[in-house]
């Protein structure tokens, strides 16, 4: 990765996780990607500690870990409720995943979100030196750049969005949408995973705010911001190493033994309604109905560690999936076979790598996803001589790059069923050809490529304040 000779890199995101390599339990895609980027660049990673304190003090806890300094603060209970669980996860997350039916619009949430971003800005401001590059991550922090500007910060500030950007008619339902987008013009660079999300942003800016687009720059009045479609990747090298390690090989063996000659289909997702898990189970059930001869020849392993458990919609999706898995298993299981193994715990990355490799099919069917790293991890973990087949939703950002997967509409149980059948029957030469094309992309456009493109583009962004002539 190209290092800046001028300044350090300051990464700011809601949660900070020190680079640990292989960890147990679920680790968000964002955390995995950023640890790799920071390990290369050096600098400071600032965010919320995940801890709650009685009163916000802005006291920073610094730690140094494998070349990366992390700086975290505790938040008040009310901040967590309104900013994190409220505005971020009950308002923005559903809205940005096209689920306005689940989005909750509350003034308190919006107020708490703004207040917490102001707190973050005031706390991090003294850590910033004049030539540092600042890189803010994700939907928890849309207004942070504007708040830093108010405090006189003239550094180059970039923002990357890890989730989709919604169509403008949906975003228009959010009270205060214009102010939120308006604040994004205080950044020097806005990054999105795909061209589609970038175009949706432009669509809103043009039609709701009178913006003009010239090349890769969006302009409103005398303010402008550069736009970049920059798909995130995985640390493909590290992942391949993990797949070849002892842990992964043990887990591969364990899965093959327990599969007992049957073909395994695997899904790995945070338990989230955006991931299309109900639709996936229904598509798999359709396959069992349409292909009774295959019934005892396959099984679906769905790993779904719970996330955001304090949010009601997440409790509902969990209940609903338990019901669905129980019903399908009750209906089709026999004394020596269960169609769905539904597991609510997380595994270490190494164990996961072995599980991916043991699976004949990777089933990735989100209804909307900014990118989806599981699709890339599944590909990276395959045996080149006998690779499995990736079935991927057209509505994941990853579908823009991964055209050699079997692309399906996740709302169609029939398409899921047909794709499973096609994958099981696919000749080895075709599997190898498709996998090779996918693997080339995963290796070339990896996490280092992603971060380098973003940071290079940010460095080239014009300086905020023009020198007086
Ligand atoms: C957001 C966007 C975007 C899952 N279960 C376990 C586990 N995981 C890891 C996976 C993968 C990561 O979590 C999930 O990443 P995704 O990309 O699939 O999804 P989100 O968490 O929703 O991430 C997404 C991403 O940000 C990056 O920009 O791609 O669109 O929604 O790495 O492997 N990891 C371990 N055990 C588990 O049980 N260790």
Specify whether 226 is located in the same domain as 258: no
Residues 27 and 56 in one domain: yes
Please check whether residues 209 and 266 belong to one and the same domain. no
Q: How many helices (H) and strands (E) does the chain have?
A: 17, 16
pLDDT (0 to 100) of residue 448: 86
**Is the Cβ atom of 26 under 6 angstroms away from ligand 1?**
yes
Best probe residue, ligand 1, of 27, 308, 381 (max atoms within 8 Å of C-beta)? 27
Query: Is residue 437 domain-resident?
Result: yes
How far does residue 128's CA lie from ligand 1's centre (Å)? Answer: 30
As a whole number, the mean pLDDT across the chain is 92
Split at pLDDT 50, 70, 90, the class of 23 is very low
CATH number at residue 167: 3.40.50.2000
Helix axes 277-290, 413-425, angle to 10 degrees: 60
pLDDT at 41: 72
Residue among 21, 373, 401, 446 whose CB has most ligand 1 atoms within 8 A, to mutate = 373
Is 181 part of a structural domain of the chain?
A: yes
Residues 109 and 256 in one domain: no
313 domain residue, yes or no: yes
| pLDDT band at 239; cut points 50, 70, 90 | confident
Residue whose C-alpha is closest to residue 158's, from 135, 182, 185, 129: 135
Claim to verify: residue 284 and residue 207 sit in the same structural domain: no
pTM (2 decimals)? 0.94
Residue 404 falls in the annotated catalytic set? no
Ligand 1 centroid to Cα of residue 33, in Å, is 10
Domain identity same for 298 and 205:
no
Dist. CA 99 → ligand 1 center (Å) = 20
Does ligand 1 come within 6 angstroms of the Cβ of 366? no
For residue 237, the Cα-to-chain-centroid distance in whole angstroms is 19
Q: Does residue 187 lie within any of the structural domains?
A: yes
| Per-residue pLDDT at 43 | 85
With CA atoms as reference, report the closest residue to 124 among 58, 75, 65.
58
Q: Please give the residue range of the domain that contains residue 431.
A: 236-444
Q: Is there a single domain that holds both residue 46 and residue 190? A: yes
Residue 467 lies in a domain: no
pLDDT exceeds cutoff 80 at 29: no
One domain, residues 440 and 454:
no
Q: What whole-number distance in Å separates Cα of residue 28 and Cα of residue 200?
A: 25
Separation of alpha carbons 434 and 439, rounded Å: 9
Distance CA 234, CA 201 (A): 25
Residues with Cβ within 8 Å of residue 429, at least 6 apart in sequence = none
Query: Does residue 259 sit in the same domain as residue 163?
Result: no
Rounded to an integer, the average pLDDT of 2-29 is 63
How many domains is the chain built from?
Answer: 2
Q: How far apart are CA 221 and CA 87, in angstroms?
A: 29
CA distance 439 to 173: 40
Give mean pLDDT, residues 380-395. 97
262 CB-side CA count, 13 A: 21
- Of 18 and 20, more confident: 18
| 138-173: burial string, b at 16+ Cβ within 10 Å, e else | bbbbbbbbbbbbeeebebbbbbbbbbbbbebebbee
| CA–CA distance, 446 with 51 (Å, rounded to integer) | 32
162 catalytic residue (yes or no): yes
Of the listed 97, 140, 162, 193, which one is catalytic? 162
- What would the pLDDT profile of 252-286 be if each residue is shown by its tens digit? 999 999 999 999 999 999 999 999 999 999 999 99
- Beta strand extents in 230-277 (DSSP E only): 263-268
> In the prediction, which pLDDT does 310 show?
87
Asked if residue 378 is part of any domain, the answer here is yes
Domain match, 285 and 245 both = yes
Are 17 and 119 in the same domain?
Answer: yes
- The answer as to whether 468 is a domain residue is no
Tell me, in angstroms, the distance from the centre of ligand 1 to residue 270's CA. 7
CB 205 within 8 A of CB 218: yes
Q: Which residues lie below 8 Å from residue 14, measured CB to CB, with a gap of 6+?
A: 47, 48, 84, 88, 137, 138, 140, 141
Q: Are residues 229 and 240 in the same domain?
A: no
**Portion of the chain with pLDDT greater than 70, in percent:** 93
Q: Is 182 within a domain? A: yes
Least confident residue range of 89-98, 292-301, 309-318, 429-438: 309-318
């Amino acid at each position: 990765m190209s290092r800046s000779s001028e300044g350090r890199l300051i990464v700011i995101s809601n949660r900070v996780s020190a680079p640990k390599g292989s960890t147990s339990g679920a680790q968000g895609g964002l955390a995995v990607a950023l640890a790799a980027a920071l390990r290369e660049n050096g600098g400071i990673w600032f965010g919320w500690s995940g801890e709650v304190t009685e009163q916000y003090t802005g006291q920073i806890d610094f730690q140094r870990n494998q070349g990366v300094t992390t700086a975290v603060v505790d938040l008040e209970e009310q901040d967590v409720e309104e900013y994190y669980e409220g505005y971020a996860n009950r308002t923005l997350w559903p809205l940005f995943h096209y689920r306005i039916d689940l989005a909750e619009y509350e003034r308190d949430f919006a107020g708490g979100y703004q207040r917490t971003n102001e707190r973050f800005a005031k706390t991090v401001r003294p850590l910033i030196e004049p030539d540092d590059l600042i890189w803010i991550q994700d939907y928890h922090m849309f207004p942070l750049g504007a708040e830093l500007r108010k405090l006189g910060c003239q550094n180059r500030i970039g923002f990357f969005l890890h989730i989709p950007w919604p169509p403008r008619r949906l975003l228009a339902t959010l009270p205060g949408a214009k102010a939120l987008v308006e604040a994004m013009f205080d950044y020097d660079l806005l990054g999105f995973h795909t061209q589609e999300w970038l175009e949706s942003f432009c669509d809103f800016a043009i039609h709701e705010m009178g913006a003009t687009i010239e090349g890769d720059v969006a302009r409103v009045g005398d303010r402008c911001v550069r736009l970049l479609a920059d798909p995130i990747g995985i640390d493909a090298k590290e992942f391949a190493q993990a797949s070849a390690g002892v842990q992964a090989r043990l887990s591969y063996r364990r899965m093959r033994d327990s599969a007992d000659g049957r073909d395994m289909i695997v899904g790995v997702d945070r338990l989230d309604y955006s991931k299309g898990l109900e639709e996936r189970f229904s598509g798999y059930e359709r396959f069992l109905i349409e292909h009774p001869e295959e019934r005892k020849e396959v099984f679906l392993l769905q790993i779904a560690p719970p996330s955001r458990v304090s949010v009601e919609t997440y409790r509902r999706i969990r209940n609903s999936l338990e019901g669905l898995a129980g019903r399908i298993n009750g209906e089709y299981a026999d004394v020596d076979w269960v169609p769905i193994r539904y597991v609510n715990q997380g595994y270490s990355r190494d164990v996961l790598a072995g599980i991916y490799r043991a699976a004949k099919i990777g089933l990735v069917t989100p209804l909307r996803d900014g990118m989806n790293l599981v699709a890339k991890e599944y590909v990276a973990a395959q045996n080149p001589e006998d690779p499995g087949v990736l079935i991927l939703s057209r509505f994941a950002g990853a579908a823009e790059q991964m055209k050699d997967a079997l692309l399906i509409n996740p709302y169609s149980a029939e398409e899921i069923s047909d794709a499973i059948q096609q994958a099981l029957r696919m000749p080895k030469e075709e599997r190898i050809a498709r996998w090779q094309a996918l693997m080339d992309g995963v290796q070339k456009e990896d996490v280092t490529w992603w971060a380098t493109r973003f940071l290079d583009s940010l460095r080239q962004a014009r300086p905020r304040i023009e020198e007086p002539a």
